[in-house]
Amino acid sequence: MNKIMESEILTLENNEEYICVARIEDNEDSYLALISNTKPISFRFAKEIIEGDDVTLEIVYDQDEKEKVLKLYEEEIRKRI
């Protein structure tokens, strides 16, 4: 099992490169904040899914889940201030 770490460069299914700029854990779920490596810059949240030795990403499209992940990052940032 190889978790995706911050600063790793990933190629998504659309053949676009993204950089993992942050990861956060929520119980058993892991979320990644991804920024595209090309212009125009785009930002994505992705859920990391680990099955055995396979690691896949599921882009978060659901608005409620996006808000949940954003709150997790906000809470983490507040802890560090």
Residue 76 above 80 pLDDT? yes
Closest CA to 7 of 35, 49, 44, 48: 35
49 near 56, Cβ under 8 Å? yes
pLDDT in tens, 9-20: 999 888 999 999
> Residue ranges per domain, the chain?
9-80
Q: How far apart are CA 16 and CA 28, in angstroms?
A: 27
Residue 60 above 60 pLDDT? yes
